[in-house]
Amino acid sequence: MKRLTSAQLISSVGDGAYYVTSALYFTLIVGLSPAQVGLGLTVGWAVGSVAGVALGQLADRRGPKGTAVLLALGTAASVTAFLFVHSFIAFVIAACVYACFQCGLGAARQALLAGLIDPAGRTTFRARLQAMSNAGIAIGAALGGIALAIGTREAFLTVFVVDALAFVAAALVLRKVPPVAPVPMRAGEPSVAVLRDRPYALLALLNMIMLLYMPLFSLVLPLWISTRTAAPSWLVSAMLVLNTASVVVFQVRVARGVTGLRGASRYVRHAGLLLFVSCLIFSFSAMGDSAWAAALVLLAGAALQVVGEMAQAAGSWEIGFGLAPDGKQGQYQGLFGAGTAIARMLGPVLLTGLILVGGTVGWVVLGGLFLLAGTLTAPAVRWAERTRPRPGLEVSPPVPA
């Protein structure tokens, strides 16, 4: 489905430009403190993670295509609203609206994908979307870098306009995607069945723990390199390029190796081990005074980390799709996708405290969390399979809350 990948690429360009400029815009131009920006984004993603489930259910009931189009337009409007933010309260409200539309759009897109792509091809196609997303974010980040170099209010505002237009363009592309029929609610079934599906909720939690790697390159490693190692600060850019390029080139190939839930569980288990070892390697970078030695250690850790990231992504997509019943993909993907919002919300605070204060011990603890979550995924998948007559098709009666 070329239109789905095109929509993903277009919106990701806007996201990339927004990600690299938004924090500085709100602090330097709007005048908010870093603490206010952090608090506002935390509140926003917390609200968005809850709204994603409800908006995902809306996609199930009203049809994922139309819902995705409306949510893409809503995202464009919410980005435009940031242009009129001049106070902390207004920023918090705008951040909540933005996060709600983003989380809902993610759930609706996943439901649309599940409705259009054969179950056997969903993980590989999702990998293509991820590759397109990373490519788009890289392009957008370059555009955002131009605005940062210029540094004027007008340059920042141009980035927000570009982001909004990107989501409008993505909505127009999504309009041309074939429709997926809505599934009406059956009499007597709970309105949000996923909240009663305990095995799936556990898997969503384990997935959220695995996603704590997300703030590493954007926040934790830059601070770690500048304060604890002898490596040059520009190494952060090299590591980010390595990560992004690897996902663009290899994510689809990695995903092709996932065949079924057992294979997905094995991938996630291996990912937990790889992320654990990468954390240990990152901790070694603080030992010694050689800039070159520290740089080589960090690059080795980054290489292992991105392999673990790709394996975790491929396995989690198969699990998220395969255990969600037909007709409820939207709400199920909304809950599973909430891990991304929660990782964005809690990850920066948790990881900066853990790593920058705890040092080597902090890296070991973080790696241990990855290892534990990856190991527990397989028994959680088996539990989920036992509650379903046939994996990926129909959920048995919900477990009482």
Q: What CATH number has the domain bearing residue 344?
A: 1.20.1250.20
Which distant-in-sequence residues (6+ apart) come within 8 Å of 85 by Cβ? 26, 30, 91, 94
Query: Quick one: three-class SS letters along the chain?
Result: CHHHHHHHHHHHHHHHHHHHHHHHHHHHHCCCCHHHHHHHHHHHHHHHHHHHHHHHHHHHHHCHHHHHHHHHHHHHHHHHHHHHCCCHHHHHHHHHHHHHHHHHHHHHHHHHHHHHCCHHHHHHHHHHHHHHHHHHHHHHHHHHHHHHHHCCHHHHHHHHHHHHHHHHHHHHHHCCCCCCCCCCCCCCCCCCHHHHCHHHHHHHHHHHHHHHHCHHHHHHHHHHHHHHCCCCCCHHHHHHHHHHHHHHHHHHHHHHCCCHHHHHHHHHHHHHHHHHHHHHHHHHCCCCCCHHHHHHHHHHHHHHHHHHHHHHHHHHHHHHHHCCCCCCHHHHHHHHHHHHHHHHHHHHHHHHHHHHHHCHHHHHHHHHHHHHHHHHHHHHHHHHHHCCCECCCECCCCCCC
pLDDT score, position 191: 66
pTM, 2 dp: 0.87
Q: What is the pLDDT of residues 17-35, one digit of tens each?
A: 888 888 889 988 999 888 8
Residue 187 falls inside a structural domain? no
User: In which residue are the tokens 């690299």 written?
Assistant: 20
Same domain, 62 and 146: yes
Residue 345 lies in a domain: yes
Q: 394 pairs with which residues across the strands?
A: 390
Q: Is residue 181 part of a domain?
A: no
Tell me how crowded residue 105 is: count the other CB atoms within 10 A of its CB: 28
CA distance 99 to 334: 13
Tell me how far apart the alpha carbons of residues 36 and 381 are, in angstroms, rounded to a whole number. Answer: 40
CA distances for 391 relative to 7, 368, 385, 387, angstroms: 30, 30, 6, 9
CA gap 24, 182 in Å, rounded: 42
Q: What is the pLDDT of residue 390?
A: 52
Distance of alpha carbon 365 from alpha carbon 224, whole angstroms? 16
Nearest residue to 221 via CA among 291, 150, 285: 285
Verify that 66 and 147 share a domain, yes or no.
yes
C-alpha of 249 from chain center: 19
Give the chain's residues under pLDDT 70: 1, 185-191, 389-401
Is there a single domain that holds both residue 239 and residue 342?
yes
Q: Which of 125, 142, 174 is the last residue of a domain?
A: 174
**Whole-number pLDDT of residue 399:** 40
Residues 253, 293: one domain?
Answer: yes
The size of the chain, in residues, is 401
Residues 225-282 have pLDDT tens digits of 988 899 988 888 788 888 989 999 999 999 999 989 999 999 999 999 999 999 999 9
Is residue 31 left, alpha or beta, with left meaning phi > 0 and alpha meaning psi from -120 to 50? Answer: left
Give the chain's largest Cα–Cα span: 68
- The answer to whether residue 394 is domain-embedded is no
Q: For residues 164 and 225, state if they share a domain.
A: no
Domain count, the chain: 2
- Domain identity same for 300 and 374: yes
Distance CA 152, CA 385 (A): 55
Amino acid 396: pLDDT:
40
Provide the pLDDT for residue 401. Answer: 35
185 part of a folded domain: no
Burial of 50 (0-12, 13-18, 19+ CB in 10 A): middle
Whose tokens are 């809350």? That residue is 401
Q: Does 393 fall in a domain?
A: no
**Residue-level pLDDT at 189:** 63
Q: Is residue 63 located within the same domain as residue 138?
A: yes
Can you give the residue range of the structural domain that contains 34?
A: 2-174
Distance separating alpha carbons of residues 115 and 314, to the nearest angstrom: 19
